[in-house]
Amino acid sequence: MTMQGKRVLITGGGSGAGENLALGFAAAGAEVVIAGRRLAALEAVTAKARGIRAVQADVTDEASVQRMFAEAGRCDVVIANAGQADSAPMVKTSLAQWNAMIAVNLTGVFLTLREGLRQMEGWGRLISVASTAGLKGYAKVAPYAAAKHGVVGLTRSLALEVARREVTVNALCPGFLDTPMTDQSVQVIADKTGRSLAEARGVLEAMSPQNRLIQPAEVTAAALWLCQPGSEGINGQALSIAGGEI
């Protein structure tokens, strides 16, 4: 696959799936701009490969997202990857927790895709990294699942708006990823249940029929495919990358 001559912006590019996306697109020849709140983490990624530069931004802030695109320059591919997870029973979920999940996981995607589309000329790809939680429910993560379901709805609606252009809009919905975010979930499970870290990780692995965590490289491969010739008809889709869980 080649991405020569294309500029790709990836939010949440300082770790996990975002880092893998940045390295994968850079390896394919793209000019990559990664964005996030933690500049040190972003710079650590830029040091790993040529063709990657960093822009500090907060996707929950409209002005910050607009500055992000101004600094990045016109982008051909925009990947809204930034996200956070939290876990609590509904009756113990505070309004602050709800607002935080909606802000980063849904509003952040809205702002990123809106500004990305505003500056997009000709051929373009808008991709969000959602979750299987955008396609089904999981206990004790209602705000997170609500936000990710919102991303899927946003994707389907926006795809219809751009259908007559050379732009497609799709969401990637991985299961539990082998990333630092999942490591945090594993720690929470271990702390709350008394299980070992290995046992807690096994709980998440068992949610997949393949009994494993999804690798970030699988998300990157799907995103690259959506940018290649032959993917033009893939529009408004929420692609599950979950070993058959969905």
> Order of strands across the sheet with 7-11?
52-56, 31-36, 7-11, 77-80, 124-129, 167-174, 238-241
DSSP codes, 10-40? EETTTSHHHHHHHHHHHHTT-EEEEEES-HH
| Residues paired with 171 in a beta bridge | 128, 238
Q: Which two tokens stand for residue 194?
A: 């008394």
Residues present in the chain in total: 246
Query: Catalytic: which of 25, 98, 144, 176?
Result: 144
Q: Residue 70: is it exposed, middle or buried by C-beta count within 10 angstroms (0-12/13-18/19+)?
A: exposed
- Whether 138 is catalytic is no
Residues labelled as active-site residues = 144
